Chains A and B, each alone.
Chain A
């Protein structure tokens, strides 16, 4: 039996194994984690004919360069990713959202994401990795999940097993949509802020700064003036919570966020806009738009329907 594996020639900036994340551990300080852009994660596994929650490799901005050793394996890349496959004597430009093949000694170079942040690599096989609390999702802060809770390291080996021999020509015509308006439901401390600040929050644009990662987005824009308490007694947070720091800057909690926090919550990003928000690269500007709970629920139903539709179009 031959061993099948990837050799990491370049790890990329922030490359991790992810699945759906882990539930039920907020109370001991462990967030969901999981693929940041859930839709692209789900689509990647659907194109691979994998089970819904199969582990994938998530990369951010600059992806990894991997040399493949072993039997022929099929893979696909989702997101808006610029990548190449280096075969014996030719370079092949990669196309997202379709099954492609890797043979012994081929190199997969996931060069970069285009005007977006996250991309996904799924294989028609399984990665030989560890699970922690029912999930492979890497949380580098708590050092848990696959790969000893670490991002990919240069020269490491990623073992692969259960290769599907049968080729499926699965592909999907899809381009991830870009948005600028992020819809937000008012948070429990909305009235801690001055009338002017509340107006500015929904009127002005905020720039996504470089202090942005899987834990959160730090925004830069007009200062949001607090007229009550700039600190609260620490309490739980959820994905998408927008806290205002004592300096008046908004920070948005993302999938690896600290489970509790002591800044007032001005609002929460609706579930349907989360996948799109995380894909907006640092340097871009966003605008918050107020929405009520009922509308947010309806929009989420539509968003899910749209995802199911996309999956049904894979052929």
Chain B
């Protein structure tokens, strides 16, 4: 649960759940996030869950740090860890044109391509948080044998919809963006749909992701 609440500037609460990164702590963060969202405390403008922190932004012209802190502390949550997320299947094409860093990973991990993909596709991943750029999911945890450091020099442009790995995490670049994660493939699905005006995100914190491999021709079909 929350270890400490402090202020982040004059218009946000910084709720600290510790320093470890694991599913249990993160489920606590997400549960807390959902409960605060439901509570409709006046003046709250944004709530940002991450691995082990929750930041609550508020409108300083309506409320203040002390007020929101008291209100948050007084909320009496049932400590139920419920089924927080959905299971989402994501197709990935690992054609050489998309798997930009597979050769680097083969060398770095001392595994061949087939082994890397076998290990990657055999696990389900948990979504810790979404953000940085719109809709980008931070997923984990990768098998221990797939942990690799970031590129020494980040790419200026990672293609949209690329799947990247770093340390125990995996993500999907929802937009073309600079980035240093090791790219192993590409999905034809739009993870963030900027035409969808109600729920643009396909993946939300707490969801479980199952990746499955598709061929180049299947990938191209999905684009039609």
* Residue from the list A238, A258, A269, A297 in contact with B55, Cβ < 8 A: A238
CA gap between A293 and B8 in the complex, in Å: 10
Task: Given A30-B134, A142-B175, A236-B55, answer yes or no on A132-B46 (Cβ-Cβ < 8 Å).
Answer: no
Q: When the two chains form their complex, are residues B60 and A29 in contact, meaning their CB atoms are under 8 A apart? A: no
Q: How distant is B129 from chain A, measured CB to nearest CB, in Å? A: 7
Select one of A143, A149, A241, A261 contacting B9, CB under 8 A: A241
Stretch at the interface among B76-84, B118-126, B197-205: B197-205
Stretch from A20-28, A91-99, A104-112, A159-167 forming part of the interface with B:
A20-28
Contact between B132 and A293, CB atoms less than 8 A apart: no
Residues of A within 8 A of B98 (CB): none
Closest to A270 in B: B10
Closest chain A residue to B198, Cβ basis:
A133
Contact A26 to B48, CB < 8 A, known contacts A234-B132, A260-B129? yes
Known: A133-B197, A261-B132. A24 touches B9 (CB 8 A): no
Q: Identify which of residues 120-150 in chain A touch chain B, using a CB-to-CB cut-off of 8 Å.
A: 132-133, 139, 141-144, 149
Distance (whole angstroms) from the CB of A298 to the closest CB of chain B: 10
Contact of B132 among A23, A258, A268, A269 (CB under 8 A): A258
A235:B55 contact, CB within 8 angstroms: yes
Q: Is the pair A188, B205 in contact by a Cβ cutoff of 8 Å? A: no
Query: A297–B64 contact, CB under 8 A?
Result: yes
In whole angstroms, what is the CA distance A139 to B175 when docked? 13
Within the assembled complex, what's the spacing in Å between the Cα atoms of A268 and B11?
A: 10
Q: A29 touches which one: B8, B57, B136, B197 (CB < 8 A)?
A: B136
For residues 148 through 200 of chain B, which have their beta carbon under 8 Å from a beta carbon of chain A? 174-175, 192, 194, 197, 200
CA–CA, A189 and B57, complex, Å:
18
How far is it, in angstroms, between the C-alpha of A15 and the C-alpha of B85 when the chains are bound? 39
Interface of B is mostly: loop
Report if B7 contacts A (CB, 8 A): yes
B95-116 to A contact mask, C-beta < 8 Å, 1/0: 0000000000000000000000
Q: Which residues of A contact B7 (CB under 8 A)?
A: 185, 293
A290 to chain B, nearest CB (A): 13
Contact code string B42-58 (vs A, CB < 8 Å = 1, else 0): 00011111111111010
Shortest Cβ distance from B205 into A: residue: A27
Tell me the smallest distance from the CB of B32 to a CB of chain A, in Å: 12
* B50/A236 in contact, CB under 8 A: yes
Flag A49-81 by CB within 8 Å of B: 1 or 0 each. 000000000000000000000000000000000
Contact A29–B9 (Cβ < 8 Å): no
Complex: chain A residue closest to B9, CB-CB: A268
Cα of A234 to Cα of B130 in the assembled complex, Å: 11
Contacts of A27 in B (CB 8 A): 33, 46-49, 129-131, 205
Cα of A143 to Cα of B195 in the assembled complex, Å: 10
Q: Are B6 and A29 in contact (CB under 8 A)?
A: no
> Closest Cβ of chain B: how far from A125's Cβ, in Å?
25
Contact A28 B201 (CB under 8 A): yes
Contact of A144 among B60, B194, B205 (CB under 8 A): B194
> Is A170 an interface residue, CB under 8 A from the partner?
no
Quick check: B131 and A238 within 8 Å, CB to CB? no
Please name the residue on chain A nearest to B54 by beta carbon: A236
Known: A28-B131, A234-B138. A293 touches B51 (CB 8 A): no
Contact in complex: A29, B10 (CB < 8 Å) = no
| CB-based closest 8 A-B pairs | A268-B9, A236-B48, A236-B55, A142-B134, A29-B131, A259-B131, A26-B46, A296-B10
Q: What are 24 contact pairs spanning A and B, CB under 8 A?
A: A26-B55, A27-B46, A28-B135, A28-B204, A29-B135, A32-B45, A142-B135, A142-B192, A144-B134, A144-B194, A233-B51, A233-B52, A234-B50, A234-B129, A235-B50, A238-B8, A240-B9, A259-B131, A260-B129, A269-B9, A271-B9, A271-B10, A296-B9, A300-B61
Task: Give B residues with C-beta under 8 Å from A.
Answer: 6-12, 14, 16, 19, 21, 33, 45-55, 57, 60-61, 64-65, 129-136, 138, 174-175, 192, 194, 197, 200-201, 204-205
